[in-house]
Structure 1
Amino acid sequence: MAGGCRRAIGISLGVLLAVLLLAGGVAAWGWNHYQRFADAPAWTGEPASVRIERGDGLRTVLARLRQAGVVAGHDLEWRLLARELDAAGRLKVGEYALEPGITPRELLRRMRDGRVIHYRVTIVEGWNFRQLRAALAAAEPLLHEATDLDDAALMAALGHPGQHPEGRFLPETYLYQRGDSDLDILRRAYAAMEQALAEAWANRAPDTPLRSPEEALILASIVEKETGQAHERPQIAGVFSRRLQKGMLLQTDPTVIYGMGSAYDGNIRKRDLATDTPYNTYTRPGLPPTPIAMPGRAALHAAVNPAPGDALYFVSRNDGSHVFSATYAEHNRAVDCYQRRRNCPPRAEAEPQQ
């Protein structure tokens, strides 16, 4: 009888061992399968995206992934992986890229860390506000909340009622995500310009004729429109600063063009220079009443730190650069040469930039 008990115990131990070995094998197979799932591509199609909305839990996110075409893994494996990554309950709202080759592990990490898809919109130096509004209206997938607002209503929506919008937004490239609006971009660009202008004004030359940051912004906008050559900005600012100090008319075409508005057809004529508007610096002294464009940081710096010298005039060489002159006689000779193409001294066309 004792022998029978020993045989029964031996059989039971054998069965138990077999079960344990089988369970261990299944567990090892399951673990390997889970690891392959976590680190194998979950998406092999064309680039796409999936969104997490406010209030979405992991179950909803998984349903969105399935709807998008993600077939990798069982939902249980996704839940286990989310727990392993401490992502369950911490998925951030936003739009996430489904890139070819992305793994479930990397996708959940992005969702946990809020690494959403970012889009770009660029405000170009020298743009006016009309051009900025057109660029924002064309930007996708930006929400367009300002489309039906006129300029005054738009500035009120930004929290600056009664302020003219021209020149108030810093030219830069701004990142945004799906769900952001044009007003969000404008708020950021406005704050960036306020900061850039304050920094420039704090570092202004002690002998500047400008009396306020507002005047600095206006002059910077003129400098921005007068030249596309970065090294010339301080020289251009120097000419206008000396003219302001001497009480001379600024006589700058970009302000006249701005004052013409939609009447400007690409050409500026003598009658345009003689037609008085608040922005005609041939007929009115001092700076115009508002900026005429959006200046960049370099133009802001140049406006408050003009280059020293005695030049009071400049004329375009028609290649983006300018000739600077200290006297009206010198200026007329430069105009004859570079604009009228006559009376050029030998090798004038090859003059180095001043």
Structure 2
Amino acid sequence: MLIEFGIGLLAVAAVPYLLFGVLYAWHRPSGSPIEKAPYEPTVSIVLPTYNEAAIVERKLADIAALDYPVEKLELVVVDASDDRTPDLVESYFDDGEGPTVRVIRETDRKGLAIALNEGYAAATNEIIVKTDCDSKLAPDALREAMANFVDPEVGGVTGRTGEVLGGSEVESDYRGMQTHIQTLESHLDSTFIFHGPFSAFRRDLVVPVDADSLADDSELALRVRRNGHRVVFDPAVRYAEAAHSGFRQRRTQKDRRAMGLIRLLTRQADALGRHGRYGRAVLPFNWLFMIVGPWLAAAGLTVLTVGAFASFGLAGVALPLALAAFVAVGSRDALGPFQPFYALFDTQVSLLHAALALQFTAADGQWEPEAELREAFD
């Protein structure tokens, strides 16, 4: 009886994946949902920095390499460093060949969300693009993104991880699945998750995010959608970022993201059922995937384990041992064709851990540079 009940819980936890599979097979979406056309608005690039002296010049070179008219670019850097980061930024374009540069020096470190609110308020151009210091943008990222804004209904655009630096197949597999999900969401209406390496918004639609936000990009996108504009995912907008494969290493990086998304969904729960297909399909799917599913999966595995011991005695230890082996091999990117299943399992672990952390720990919106990940850019 316990074994059947556990299997039933796992089956219910699989509902979001089944729903996605059916919708994807029915719709078969690809590319941006927008009929794109060349468009060159003025752009403010907002870059939050904290002790980035080792990598900031590489990021500035990345910005300088963008295929976009430099006279239409403005760089706004919001800095809370106690190293040479702001000085390096201010001197980098001394030859006059780069964009206009504005550095906002925070006297106290206030957190990422507050820094971004300051940067967005200081930006003066038509479109605001937020990017992270520890990411690389494809040279055509701006052009591809701006081509979506030719549609006046589009208020925000995000892109995809074209390359996962550091050799993490776990993250690469997950991002591949995420690309399919976000493409479908955007063709239905709008996507839920916006990504730190590249998020673009019309400046006149930008509103402040919560000071303690851990998902600032997605929160701003959700607010823009609630105010009547679409926020879409365009897979032609590409960037690179680094990621861990190891189970323990991934927890800090991935769990923090999960905490932010769970907090955002629960704080904005009143959007469910509203705002067209966004509230009737996209948000419910993310609720099932991020909030309901992990608890059902954990409960199902627990009941299965108890049932295995009750039915088979010590032989029931085979189930937890098999799960431990699955994690050990998956963390080493060695599951071959089954590696995507581990990527999904790893994501569910993060979501469950994040839900618990939100209940029992303080999440204040501060972020710390990860030196090991940044070495992947060298």
Larger strand proportion, structure 1 or 2?
Answer: 2
- Greater relative contact order, per chain length (Cα 8 Å cut-off, separation 6+): 2
Give the TM-score, by structure 1 length.
0.29
Structure (1/2) with the larger helix percentage: 2
